[in-house]
Structure 1
Amino acid sequence: MREDGRCLVETREVAPPPVPVLGAPWSLRTVRDTAEDIGLVHQWMNRPHLAAGWGQDWPLGRWTDEIRTQLAGLRSRPCLVSHEGRLFAYVEIYRPALDPLAGYYPAAGTDLGMHTAIAAVEDTGRGFGSRLLSAVPDALLAADPDCARVVAEPRSSNLAAIGAKQRAGWVKGEQIELPHKVATLMFRYRGAGQR
């Protein structure tokens, strides 16, 4: 990372992340700038299991600003995922090269990243997460033929998230110290986890 804390790749060299199309039983759409969508994300992120993992149990106004900033920018896309028609998860799709994460690994301008939050605690530990963590990167790689890998950086203490990613074909990388957490880099390569 540069001394000024900015990412290493020029913005003009990096395309905004695509919003992928997921096959059934999944569907994915961008979060809309509506009270309903933003309120839903706010409600989910204030649930204890997500507040503990994400640390973004923010007030509604901050989530409104966050979603609007993402929607107006090129770095990331906030999305809602449904499973069999039921809203299931919040996913942020982003370009690591436009993110401070670029200072912690050799980010290519074509890399894609994802943050995943399963809304209901009762949907965790049942295999849904691993299936989602396979479906979304597969769709991202299909949507962007220049992308060779998708990256994630779960908290190193979140062994459930790391295990779910590994079951979905993600490869565990090095541990890094981000300003807000100690994380483990994880990569999903084109070809279901093959380098």
Structure 2
Amino acid sequence: MSTTVQAEPHATPQRTAANEFVSYPHGVPHRVDHDAEAHRLHVESDRHSATWRLDKNAGRLALTWPTSSAPPHAATLAAIETAFALHPDSQTLQLQVPEAMYPSLRHTGIVVDDSEGVPWVPAELFWQQPDLWLPSPKSLPYPQQPISSDGRRHPRRPPKPEGTVYRRYIPWLKATLSFRVLDLERDLECFSRWMNDPVVAHFWEEQGDLAQHRHRLEATLGHPNALPLIACFDDQPFGYFEAYWAKEDRLGAYYDADDFDRGWHLLIGEAAFRGTPYVAAWLPSISHYLFLDDCRTQRLVIEPRVDNAKMLYNLARCGYAHLKAFDFPHKRAMLGMQLREHFFNERSWIPQPPHPGSAPRPDPRFSR
């Protein structure tokens, strides 16, 4: 096997103009219009609107709320996300809002104070805020209880989610990427067509008819370890992702798996979505989703075929280390691993150049 949710009716807005961004705090779409000459960010949703000032001087990014009354919290999150998207080279953002807002922002880790008491938003912390990208984030991690299955001891896993689990606007595509839990009746025909595509079949080797693929998906949906996902751009399905807990997966026998390590497989079924701009969107986003889904997940693993050169190249561009080649019974694979610390510290949600949307990475020794 190569490693390669129902959307709310209003969840994905129409395609945006060149100077617009879309953010989804608490699952609600917020359009953000950027006027660079006026240093203005205008945030609007069906509930409220707010206008911010955005400046970048001497390499320092600053977002300022211009009045004494507090802006809506969701609009604040949308403005911060947009500012970082417009300036992907920025590691921090100075946030200027009414004083009464800072305690809650500090409490959630959105804002931290420097040695001089100046409030800053570190990108590394902000991108760990699930409210921006998960429509229904968990309020607390699922409690731990050790159990055993198939001779492996591991934590009891939470019930599987339903519907859309992740949504992120991709600026260089002017489109919204989402992952939703596979719906058997809705997605079976598409999944079967993808599995019989020669490009997919070369790596997955799971060609078959609808009955075979129904049986395969029923088993996946019924297994507590696996989460089958359909990936979409603007609600158009283009690929299948399968997330799993590594401890009780076959891969767990090939390295020292931790209790909350996650792994994933994928296939891109629609040929129109196999280019570099799309890889630069979905590959970091599946990693982002799995890290946000459980704050205890410190490592992601993947095991593509060792001869899948394109996949290995893209994984390296998105922060995955190639640890070792090893032999499954059915294939020779490469163990790839992404660390939570590396993903957020290196801002791996945007791949390194030459991927679309990337920006030169400054040396952290010489940047704030």
Q: After TM superposition, is the score higher than 0.5?
A: yes
What's the secondary structure of 2:341's corresponding residue? coil
Cα gap change, 1:163 to 1:145, in 2 (>3 Å):
same
Output the amino acid matched with 1:48. Answer: P
> What does residue 157 of structure 2 align with?
15
Cα separation, 2, equivalents of 1:188 and 1:28: 20
Please give the per-residue CA displacement for 1:5-41, whole angstroms capped at 9, x wherever unaligned. x866325x2425865423222111111121x311111
What's the secondary structure of 2:152's corresponding residue? coil
Please give the per-residue CA displacement for 1:157-179, whole angstroms capped at 9, x wherever unaligned. 00011111111111111001011
> What does residue 146 of structure 2 align with?
none
Runs of 4+ in 1 over 6 A off after TM superposition: none
State the superposition RMSD in angstroms.
2.1
| Structure richer in helix, relative to its length | 1
Cα separation, 1, equivalents of 2:219 and 2:209: 16
Cα gap change, 1:128 to 1:33, in 2 (>3 Å):
same
Does structure 1 residue 61 correspond to structure 2 residue 211? yes
> Larger Rg: 1 or 2?
2
> What does residue 191 of structure 1 align with?
341
**Relative contact order higher in (CA < 8 Å, ≥ 6 apart):** 1
Instruction: Note the C-alpha offset of 1:70.
Output: 1.4
Cα separation, 2, equivalents of 1:115 and 1:8: 23
Decide whether the 8 Å contact of 1:130 with 1:165 is kept in 2: no
Decide whether the 8 Å contact of 2:298 with 2:341 is kept in 1: no
Decide whether the 8 Å contact of 2:160 with 2:224 is kept in 1: no
Task: State the identity %.
Answer: 24
Please give the per-residue CA displacement for 1:129-183, whole angstroms capped at 9, x wherever unaligned. 2321101111110111000011110000000111111111111110010111111
Cα gap change, 1:152 to 1:57, in 2 (>3 Å):
same
Output the amino acid matched with 2:177. Answer: W
Structure 2: state its 5+ residue gaps.
1-148, 170-175, 347-368
> What does residue 193 of structure 2 align with?
43
Cα separation, 1, equivalents of 2:158 and 2:251: 16
What's the secondary structure of 1:107's corresponding residue? coil
Output the amino acid matched with 1:75. Answer: N
Does structure 1 residue 150 correspond to structure 2 residue 300? yes
Q: How many residues align?
A: 188
**TM (normalized to structure 2)?**
0.48
Instruction: Note the C-alpha offset of 1:115.
Output: 0.4
> What does residue 87 of structure 1 align with?
237
Output the amino acid matched with 1:10. Answer: R
Structure 1: state its 5+ residue gaps.
1-5
> What does residue 182 of structure 2 align with?
31
